[in-house]
Amino acid sequence: MNYPTFLILLFTFLSLSIFAQKEGIKFTHQNWNQVIIQAAKEDKIIFIDAYTDWCQPCKKMDKQVFPQKLVGDFYNKNFVNVKLNMEKGIGEELKKKYDVFFFPTFLFLTADGTIVHRIAGYQSVPKLLELGKIAIDPSKRLSAFEKRFENGDRDPKFLMQYTGVRKAAMDGTHNAIAEEYLNTQKDWTTKENLKFIFKQVDDTDSKLFDYILENRAIFEKQFKVSKVAGKIENLIYQKVYDDQGNASLEELDRLFNKVYEPKIAKQASSRFKLNYFLEKKSSEKYAKEAVKYYEKFPPKDPSELSDVAYNFYDLDVSDKKMLRKALTWTKKAVKSDDSSFNYEAMAAVYYKLGKKRKAKKAIKKAINKAKKMKEDYSEMQKLLEKIKAM
C-alpha cells in the first residue's frame, strides 16, 4: 500500500467531514431561557430537534442531514436551532407540553412558546428544507391552518389538506379534523373518500377505524383483502405495544374481540400470546398458553407440536405437568412422521424430564436418521453430550 497516498486521502476525508459539520446546522448550547431570549431579540423562530438517545432515525438525521451545507445555510439564517433530548431536563417538560409522542419530532416555536409548525419522522435534505420554508411562511404553516379552522372554515378541500398537515405533526389530533371533513360528505364510499379514510386512520378507537370494520367488504374490494387485514393488524399492534416492546394483553383481547368473531378472536389472541411469551422468553407462561392453545386448536400437521415441545426445552420449562404434555405431542408427531427433528424434540423433552435412557435412545435415532438424510446433526450431537452427562 502507498501509505503517503492513503494518509493524504484519509486526511482529506476527515477534513471534508469536519468542514461539512461546520457548514451544517449550528445547534446552540445555550440553556432554554437563553434560547428564548435570543429568539425574541433576533425575532426568529426556534427550531427544536426533539430526539432521544435510542432513536435510530434521529441518529440518521445527525449523520446525513444536519451536516449538509444547504440545510445549514437556510436554518442558521432563519432559526435559532436547538437539540433537546426529550427524556432529560427541559426536554421532558416540553415533551408533555407539546404532546411529543414520536421521534424525531421537529418543532417550530415563537419566543412566547407558540407552535407555528411541526412534523415528525425522518426528513431528507429536500424535505427538511421545504419544512423550513413552510415554517417561515405565515400562510402555509400549521398555525395558519389552525386559525382558519378556528375561524370556522369548513371547506372540504381545506379540511382534507388540514387533516394531512395535522397527521404529519403526529400529535394525535388529526382524527378530529378527518371527522370534520367526513361530516361534509354525503357519500363516504366514493373512491376519494375511501382512500382518505384508509390513509388517515391510525387509531383503533376512532370513527374511521369503526367505519372500516363496519364496511370491511367495501374496503377489501377497493384495496384488496390482504392490505385491509394488514392495516387492521398493524393498528392493533401499534395500540397494544409500548416503546419498550411490552404488550398490553388485556388491550389485545379487547381489540381482537372488537375486530373478529368470538371464536376467531380467541384463537388470534391465544396465538399472539404464544408468540409473545416465546419472544419474551417467559417459559412458564409460554408453556401454559401452548397447552391451552393446542387443546383448543390442534394443528393439521403434528410436527408443529414438536416445534412447540422443543421450545419447552429451549426455554428451560421446569413444570413436569407441562413437560409430560409436551412429551405426548412429540410421540404423536413421531407416529405421524418419524423424522430426525421429531425424534430430537422427543429426546429434548425426555432430557428435561430427567429420563436419561429414553432421551439417549431418542436422540440416537434422530442422529441416525439425520445422517441417512445427510442433514446437519451438530445440535443433536450437543444434546447427546448433555444427556450423557446427566
At 22, the pLDDT band (50, 70, 90 cuts) reads low
Q: What is the DSSP string of 348-379?
A: HHHHHTT-HHHHHHHHHHHHHHHHHTT---HH
Judge if the upstream peptide bond of residue 302 is cis by omega within 30 degrees of 0: no
pLDDT at 86 over 70: yes
Q: Which helix (H) or strand (E) holds 122?
A: none
CA atoms within 13 Å, Cβ hemisphere of 20: 13
Q: For 233-283, how does the pLDDT look when each residue is reduced to its tens digit (9 = 90+)? A: 999 999 999 878 899 999 999 999 999 999 999 999 999 999 999 999 999
Render pLDDT for 287-329 as a digit per residue (tens, 0 to 9): 999 999 999 999 989 889 999 999 999 999 999 999 999 999 9
In the predicted model, what is the mean pLDDT of residues 218-241?
A: 95
- pLDDT-based confidence at 347, cuts 50/70/90? very high
CA dist 363 and 343 (Å) reads: 6
6 pLDDT exceeds 80?
Answer: no
Task: Give the residue among 146, 116, 145 at the shortest CA–CA distance from 131.
Answer: 116
pLDDT for the residue numbered 23: 84
Q: Is residue 11 pLDDT above 50, yes or no?
A: no
pLDDT at 103 over 60: yes
User: In what helix (H) or strand (E) does residue 120 lie, and over which residues does it extend?
Assistant: strand 115-120
Neighbours of 85 (CB within 10 A): 17
Q: Is 134 helix (H, G, I), strand (E, B) or coil?
A: helix
Residue 39: band (very low, low, confident or very high) from pLDDT cuts 50, 70, 90: very high
- Mean pLDDT (the chain) is 92
Which residue segments constitute the domains of the chain, with CATH numbers given?
A: 17-137 (3.40.30.10), 138-184 (no CATH), 284-388 (1.25.40.10)
User: pLDDT by residue (tens digit) across 116-169?
Assistant: 999 999 999 999 999 999 999 999 999 999 999 999 999 999 999 999 999 999
DSSP 302: T
Q: What is the mean pLDDT of the segment spanning 49-69?
A: 95
Report the pLDDT value the prediction gives residue 74, as an integer from 0 to 100: 97
Q: Which residue is it, cell 405431542?
A: 329
pLDDT at 19 over 50: no
The residue type at 302 = P
Cβ neighbors of 323 (< 8 A, separation 6 or more) are 312, 317, 349, 352, 353
% of residues, the chain, pLDDT over 70: 94
Contact 171, 118 (CB under 8 A): yes
Model confidence, pTM: 0.76
As a residue count, the chain comes to 390
Helix (H, G, I), strand (E, B) or coil at 293: helix
Q: What is the pLDDT of residue 8?
A: 43
Q: Would you state the pLDDT for residue 336? A: 93
